[in-house]
Each structure stands twice: as C-alpha cells, then as structure tokens.
Amino acid sequence: MTYSTIVSNKPADPDERLVYRDMPTPLGDMRLVASPKGLRGAWFTDQDLLPSAEGWTLADSDPILEQARRELDEWFAGQRRVFEVPLDPVGTTFQHEVWHALCDLDFGVLASYGDLARTVGRPKGAQAVGGAVGRNPISIIIPCHRVIGADTSLTGFGGGLPRKQALLAHEGNLYRSRSARARRVCDGQAELPW
C-alpha cells in the first residue's frame, strides 16, 4: 500500500484540488475523497466526523476514487484482503504512526489499544492511541475496526457498533452483541450457554 504522509495539525491547503464521490456498500453509503496524491478520506455518509464537501469537486471518473471504489467492492465481496490504493490522509506525526500500525494489521487480525501503543513505541499511551484511532479518516482501508479492548470487548467505532460488528464478522471475528462491552466469541465458544 502506498501511503503518502502529510503531517500537519492544520487543515489541508485550501487551494488543493480535492475530489469526491459517494458509493453504496452493504453497510450504507460511503463518501470517498481524493487529493492528487491519494485517497484522503473514506467515511460512511452518516458519520459524525464526515467533513463538509464544501470546496470539493464531485468526480465519478477520478482514477484514485475509482480504484478505491473497486477495491472496496472487491473487499466486501470477499475477493480482496489487501488494499493497494495510494493513501494521503492528513494528520499529526503521532496519528500517522498509529495509522501505519493499523495498516500493518492483516485481514482478520485484531489488536488492542495497548498492543498498538506498544507497536508505536508508547507502551503507556493506549488512551492517546485510542484518540488517533478515532480520528482515522479512511474507514476500512486503514482498518480501525480491527482495534478492540484488551478483554476483547467491541469498544467504539466512528461508523457505529453495528457496522464494526459486521466488519469484524466479515473478517471472521464473531461478536453476538452490538454492545461496546460485548466480547469476541472464540473458536468453540459459540455453543456455550453464557
């Protein structure tokens, strides 16, 4: 995966040309946003963190948007596990460290906030890692849905817990409840009465 890192605490350059398109998915419509360098964002259209499209250009024929749409369709169809679309999210240095660590999580592999904190060299920074995970601007492709509590609890997700549960199930991780406190059902536990 090509990841063009833009490290900034400020908004992107207002003169930068950003294009967007919406696409249907099995979990609701998503808005894809691209810069000339790569995919800048991918949000479900009902997410609280979805930025305004003001200043963006609607473009169905942009090659980055088309690649992202095609790869997401393949992922949802079970035909893809790794994304290849170039990424260009805007964030702080720390956020990029966390987002890179998320990109290193393989399909179906889960990690806790503590695991990610150790991965980025901040073993006592689980809460800060949680903040960076929560600010991930590229849902699914930067797989923040693969982050769970240390006790395997479902925890939160910007797209909502029902979507997180569905994304994890798509990757082979079963949660019977949509509660943030729900625990992952391990192999052989599905039939237990509790």
Q: Which two tokens stand for residue 194?
A: 């509790």
Contacts of 13 (CB under 8 A, 6+ apart): none
- Which helix or strand (DSSP H or E) is residue 147 part of? strand 147-148
Contact 86, 4 (CB under 8 A): yes
Q: Which of 132, 144, 167, 168 is catalytic?
A: 144
- What one-character-per-residue DSSP string does 68-102 give? HHHHHHHHHTTS-SS--S-B--EE-HHHHHHHHHH
Q: How far apart are CA 90 and CA 64, in angstroms?
A: 16
- 144 catalytic, yes or no? yes
Contact 30, 42 (CB under 8 A): yes
Any idea which residues carry the catalytic annotation?
144
